[in-house]
Structure 1
Amino acid sequence: MSFSQTDLVNALRQLSDRLPEFSEQQVRTGRLLRVTTERLSSHLNENLKTFGINENLWFALMAVYVSPKSEILPSRLSDLMDLTRTSATRLSDEMVERGWVGRHINQQDRRQIVLKLTQEGESFIQQVWPQISSKSGEAWEDFTNEDYTQLQNLLGKLLNRLDS
């Protein structure tokens, strides 16, 4: 892969010359966002591969970990991760198989199943987190708090518009 921002700009300029009302800014931003997202995902997955997991499984485990009492409904997991119920069930199954979470009956509504973090799951997180945090931080080290705030506001604005 040899993505080049210069090649992208040149191609978009050519499109702009040929297509009326073509928005170079919009398309360039969208492409940069997509390439950056894919690279961030690849970077994280490469670091997680050492532990035999991928980012979806890691984020699912972290979602259980940060939930009140380290318990979460599978439907809530699906919503938090923006996944289909089927995908959330697959991740839940894998976390159960690995011994990181257990399935329990919800005491408030006995019709519901709750995923609860196990001690093995917490130990795994404690083992993985320092290494992942350190390696992920390298990609973001040039960002200031102001940069984070600005980027989060802009991405939130775009996401809100896409959801409306």
Structure 2
Amino acid sequence: MISLEQKHHSLLQEAKRRTQPDIANLRLCFELLALTAAIDRDCAVRLAPHNLSEGKFVVLFLLHGQPHGLSPHELADRAGVTRPTITGLLDGLERDGFLARHSNLQDRRKVSIRLSEKGDATARTLFADHTQWIGTLFGGFSSEERIQFSALLQRVWRNTDAGKMASPAIAGET
């Protein structure tokens, strides 16, 4: 059984006390939240020895294999973060020697972000390690179970406000 946070235990107890219907659905939601929190914690622990957060790791991954680099606004768009957020991530990665900013000789307003040797080596190693670890989370699942699990997650997604507002093409992606 998945270990729930105390607040979720308390909410379940209160829902039972009030004889709320669908307590099993509440529990399932709380189990999913506990699972995602555990995955996030594990991810943070795996990246911490490299002085990386998930956001910094994403930036390294996006820059890996980009010999000419990417602009800060391209990185922000691809990472799905704001420009001030990407600036903070880039500042930290540059300070730690993972990347460098390169000015355009023709237009000094344009900046290209490129990985350093350290950043390239770290991105290569961590991407392989990270994807292998993620793969182990679903170890033992058959192809059919993965398809079924994905379909169940899609059903839950469609019941969220975000899922209801998403375009039909996005809501139905698998």
Same fold (TM over 0.5): yes
Question: Relative to structure 2, which stretch is displaced further, 150-159 or 87-96?
Answer: 150-159
Per the normalisation by structure 2, the TM-score is 0.65
Matched with 1:95 is 93
- Confirm or deny: 8 A CA contact 2:101 2:112 kept in the other structure: yes
Runs of 5+ consecutive residues of structure 2 not aligned to the other structure: 168-174
- Alpha-carbon distance change, 106 to 134 in structure 1, aligned in 2, over 3 angstroms: same
Task: Percent identity, please.
Answer: 19
Runs of 5+ consecutive residues of structure 1 not aligned to the other structure: none
Q: Over aligned residue pairs, what C-alpha RMSD do you find?
A: 3.9
Matched with 2:81 is 83
Separation in 1 of the partners of 2:28 and 2:165?
Answer: 15
Matched with 2:19 is 17
Separation in 2 of the partners of 1:135 and 1:93?
Answer: 28
- Alpha-carbon distance change, 28 to 95 in structure 1, aligned in 2, over 3 angstroms: same
Compute the displacement of 1:31 (Å).
3.1
Per the normalisation by structure 1, the TM-score is 0.68
Separation in 2 of the partners of 1:15 and 1:109?
Answer: 67
Matched with 1:116 is 114
- Confirm or deny: 8 A CA contact 1:64 1:72 kept in the other structure: yes
Compute the displacement of 1:92 (Å).
0.6
Number of matched pairs: 159
Map 1:55-70 onto structure 2 (within 5 A): 55-65=54-64, 68-69=66-67
